[in-house]
Amino acid sequence: MAKSCKVSLDPAVCEMVEKAGRLEVETVWDRYQAMLPQCGFGETGLCCRHCLQGPCRIDPFGGEPKAGICGATADVIVARGLDRAIAAGGASHSGHAKHIAHTLKKAVRGKAPDYAIKDKAKLRKVAERLGIPTKGRSEAEIGLAVAEAALADFNEKATEAPVTWVATTVTEKRSKLLMERGLMPKGIDYEIADIMHRTHYGCDADPINLLQAGIRCSLTDFAGCHMGTDLSDILFGTPQPVVSEANLGVLKADMVNVAVHGHNPVLSEIIVAVAEEMKPEAKAAGAGGVNVVGICCTGNEVLMRHGIPSCTHSLSQEMALITGALDAVVMDYQCIMPSLATVAECMGTRLITTMETMKIPGAIHIPFAEERAKEIAREIIRHAIEAFTRRRGKPVDIPQNRSKVVAGFSAEAIINALSKLNADDPLKPLLDNIVAGNIRGVCLFCGCNNVKVPQDRNFVTMARRLLKENVLVLASGCGAGALMRHGFMDPASVDEMCGEGLKAVLTAIGEANGLGGPLPPVLHVGSCVDTSRAVALAVPLANRLGVDTDQLPVVASAPEATAEKAVAIGTWAVTLGIPTHVGVMLPVVGSRYVTQVLTDKVRDLTGGYFIVEPDPEPAGQKLLAAIDERRAGLGLNVPGGARR
Amino acid sequence: MKRKEIFVRYERCTGCRSCELACAVSHTAARNLFGALLGGERPQKRLYVDQVGRVKAPAVCRQCEEPPCVAVCITGAMHRREDGVNVVALPRCIGCWMCAMACPFGAVGRGEGKAVKCDRECLDEEGVPACVRACPTGALVFQTVEEFEAERRLAAAVSLR
């Protein structure tokens, strides 16, 4: 009988939460309970710690104190706090991209022999988009030029030639709008540093100017995401549909279970590459082989390129260890809870950190270097094999839950699938179905799980609603992780989950591609950096229609957002003109003015806006209304008649 | 059952003002922070955190058994409710502030020309006041005098060891 519980919709997680309780191993949900009540000043963004005269906090209800010690009002404090969250998000996603750019550079210079350019066509395509000459040049030369162009995007660039990974990846109209409105970033690191400067004690105190800088800075996150996707595809291949499985049931008691956890494929690709060749060593230790599984976004990266099963995501990362079957967790960076060290100690799992930017006391640190990638990966897997020998024969508790997943829908894969319906004009079938209303609109689910929401509840409730209403749903990051473990990426679910129009479209595309059935209800576009793939699909769609991205019936949602990266992604989605839902309260509610700008006034600037709605039912309704408004704007039919 | 009071363990107060905020929120129609803010409500807090030197001190109405504020109220607005909680009947309050002068703890506030004070209309489903529930350090506790004093005695005894 499937377990159920209050903290998660996933029965596998519930089973492990119960076990953790029995073993008295503390989990994220226990720590959340211990943290309650949370501070209302922090919740509303009214706490400022930017100088040593503070901390200051403002009465959210208009009483005293009305301003910080320096005189900063609620509006200023809230806007500054939001800006710093955006800058942190941008720094993380672009840091990830920078890492891959360095790897590409080392690879083409022959300094990292375990890496090579895998997708030459994409390399040329990206180079051409960036205006890098390709004719008569070798892949190594082009690769070096692309890597150097990527790294140059981090510096302060000339006003007329700003960050290329923004200027060349959005519509021409958007690029022009960003330039005219002072929203085009001059350089990735430049804008992030600019935010830290202007939010320092005694600098920018104009909330609107602060928000404008925050919007500009959010595009550094977009540039980082897009660059991360492009360069990963070049080095590791552009994803194509692949069949795999998701949830804790992918762990195998008699195998050496190694989880790759974190974000960057630079590490996880190599772990996957050497896992097979380590099979004899694993067998010698009494195991059937090495079973690599994914946790969080690096799991998405290897899922969509190699069909590596996804173990779990985000909030339930500790649960993978609670099974007792996980021999090692290999980590790079981002969204890795330090609590894993305690859980690992209880469960006998080896935790292995690999990056200078992320060490955890209690973990083994094995510094990763691209120059010796496979050698280091083998060393890491040997740790897992050793842990297995200690675990061998001991009982484990692996929940039986596994969902079938068809993943790997890069923009290229989607367009390729559409080309089977119309080889000359692949976007036409998609547009025709949008016009006819078989596809009402498109929604991208992204972002994290958040302990404040029963895990996956918002994703599942909203996706179910939108699919029934014939909205084409894409998912990235831990949003994809949430939906995949509930069967949303299994083509067999189409019949039950999708409205008639959408069902017909997914079936037509699936059959034209020889799948003998439909595409899955939700298309897996990849990791959180791969949120950029949704833009890579929306931009040609807008161009084909002769409109900008703020006119498309496209919406986005991070219904269980946690990370600052999600704040940054949400802000750039709004900057690209997308109505963007967030299902947890952003720490901005303490300023009525900032809240109003983000949910309404920003529309005049970018065409996009935030929808903040914690309840998934009305949230779904609001996204449908936003889609219908866009449809009406394009003169398309709206279900139930136009509302304006 | 013996009545519970809001006791202060001053040594635990960090001055975070979470109690003030929770008190204000509990007196809104929305009864939650985000709902109240988004709904434009402007509630008032009924307790106050002050700082003198390094001492941080939450001041909340002591709900006196023989309340001076009630004794001095000329219109009878300030009265003792059946449950023993001292409250203001706003329609009868004339804003003369006799109660404010009489209260030795400074627990009476001003709201739209009338007296505003702790009314214990903030209890959660377990009967705990909002300020106590919100206190992250246990500086505010909701106990009977007997319970509170028993703990004090134990603490004193432990210190003798």
- Residue B9 and residue B51 in one domain: yes
Percent of chain B with pLDDT over 90: 87
Q: Is residue B25 within 8 Å of B17, Cβ to Cβ?
A: no
- Residue A348 and residue A208 in one domain: no
- Residue A524 and residue A418 in one domain: yes
3-state secondary structure of A93: helix
Domain CATH number, residue A175: 1.20.1270.30
Q: What is the pLDDT of residues A202-216, one digit of tens each?
A: 999 999 999 999 999
C-beta atoms surrounding A231 within 10 Å: 30
Residues of chain A positioned with their CB less than 8 A from the CB of B134: 37, 40
Tell me how close the Cα of A57 comes to any Cα of chain B, in angstroms: 9
Contacts of A189 (CB under 8 A, 6+ apart): A94, A154, A155, A220
- Residue B72 and residue B56 in one domain: no
Percent of chain B with pLDDT over 70: 99
- Residue A409 and residue A543 in one domain: yes
Tokens of B17: 């003002």
Strand partners, B114: B111
- Residue A385 and residue A527 in one domain: no
- Residue B19 and residue B35 in one domain: yes
Percent of chain A with pLDDT over 90: 96
- Residue B55 and residue B123 in one domain: yes
- The number of folded domains in chain A is 4
The model's pTM: 0.93
Q: Is residue B74 part of a domain?
A: yes
Asked if A62's CB is within 8 angstroms of B42's CB, the reply is yes
- Residue A30 and residue A79 in one domain: no
Taking CA–CA distances from B32, the nearest residue in chain A reads A40
Q: What is the pLDDT of residues A85-105, one digit of tens each?
A: 999 999 999 999 999 999 999
B90 in contact with A, Cβ within 8 Å: no
- Residue B36 and residue B83 in one domain: no
Domain CATH number, residue A434: 3.40.50.2030
Domain boundary residue, one of A236, A257, A286:
A236
- Residue A419 and residue A525 in one domain: yes
Q: Is residue A594 part of a domain?
A: yes
Q: What is the pLDDT of residues A394-442, one digit of tens each?
A: 999 999 999 999 999 999 999 999 999 999 999 999 999 999 999 999 9
Please state the rounded mean pLDDT for residues B33-59. 91
- Residue A435 and residue A307 in one domain: no
Q: Is A39 annotated as a binding residue?
A: yes
Is residue A395 within a helix (H) or strand (E), and if so which, with residue range? Answer: none
Q: Is residue B111 part of a domain?
A: no
C-alpha dihedral, A79 to A82 to A87 to A90, nearest 10°:
-130
Percent of chain A with pLDDT over 70: 99
Q: Is A225 annotated as a binding residue?
A: no
Taking CA–CA distances from B43, the nearest residue in chain A reads A61
Tell me how close the Cα of A632 comes to any Cα of chain B, in angstroms: 29
**Lowest mean pLDDT across A67-71, A539-543, B135-139:** B135-139
Q: Is residue A165 part of a domain?
A: no
Q: What is the pLDDT of residues A326-356, one digit of tens each?
A: 999 999 999 999 999 999 999 999 999 999 9
Q: Is residue A162 part of a domain?
A: no
Model pLDDT, residue A37 = 86
Q: Is residue A65 part of a domain?
A: no
Q: Is residue B73 part of a domain?
A: yes
- Residue B95 and residue B27 in one domain: no
Q: Is residue A564 part of a domain?
A: yes
Query: What is the helix, strand, coil percentage profile of chain A, to 5?
Result: 50, 10, 35
Integer CA distances (angstroms), A79 to A182, A481, A543, in order: 18, 31, 34
- Residue B10 and residue B47 in one domain: yes
Residues of chain B positioned with their CB less than 8 A from the CB of A583: none
pLDDT above 90: residue A454: yes
- Residue B10 and residue B31 in one domain: yes
Domain CATH number, residue B99: 3.30.70.20
Range of A530's domain? Answer: 403-634
Asked if A61's CB is within 8 angstroms of B36's CB, the reply is yes
Range of B34's domain? Answer: 4-60+118-159
- Residue A220 and residue A286 in one domain: no
Residues within 8 A of B (CB atoms), A 17-56 only: 37, 39-41, 43-44
A378 in contact with B, Cβ within 8 Å: no
Domain boundary residue, one of A391, A422, A452:
A391
- Residue B56 and residue B123 in one domain: yes
**pLDDT-derived band of residue B1, with 50, 70 and 90 as boundaries?**
low
Asked if A590's CB is within 8 angstroms of B37's CB, the reply is yes
B44 in contact with A, Cβ within 8 Å: yes
ipTM confidence score:
0.78
DSSP assignment letter at B138:
S
- Residue B45 and residue B68 in one domain: no
Q: Which of A404, A413, A119 is closest to A269 using CA atoms?
A: A119
- Residue A454 and residue A358 in one domain: no
d(CA A245, CA A485): 8
Helix ranges (DSSP H) in A513-638: 531-545, 564-575, 592-596, 602-606, 616-633
Q: Is residue A42 part of a domain?
A: yes
Taking CA–CA distances from A45, the nearest residue in chain B reads B34
Taking CA–CA distances from A595, the nearest residue in chain B reads B38
d(CA A332, CA A525): 21
Q: Is residue A639 part of a domain?
A: no
- Residue B130 and residue B55 in one domain: yes
- The number of folded domains in chain B is 2
pLDDT above 70: residue A225: yes
Tokens of B92: 């009868």
- Residue A354 and residue A334 in one domain: yes
Q: What is the pLDDT of residues B67-126, one digit of tens each?
A: 999 999 999 999 999 999 999 999 999 999 999 999 999 999 998 899 999 999 999 999
- Residue A355 and residue A486 in one domain: no
Q: Is residue A304 part of a domain?
A: yes
Cβ contacts below 8 Å, chain A against chain B, sum to 48
Residues of chain A positioned with their CB less than 8 A from the CB of B25: 40
Residues of chain A positioned with their CB less than 8 A from the CB of B34: 43-44, 585, 589, 614
Q: Is A5 annotated as a binding residue?
A: no
- Residue A601 and residue A468 in one domain: yes
Asked if B134's CB is within 8 angstroms of A60's CB, the reply is no
Q: Is residue A377 within 8 Å of A270, Cβ to Cβ?
A: yes
User: A570: number of CA atoms within 13 Å, CB side?
Assistant: 30
- Residue B8 and residue B56 in one domain: yes
Tell me how close the Cα of B21 comes to any Cα of chain A, in angstroms: 7
Q: Is A498 annotated as a binding residue?
A: no
Q: Is residue B108 within 8 Å of B88, Cβ to Cβ?
A: no
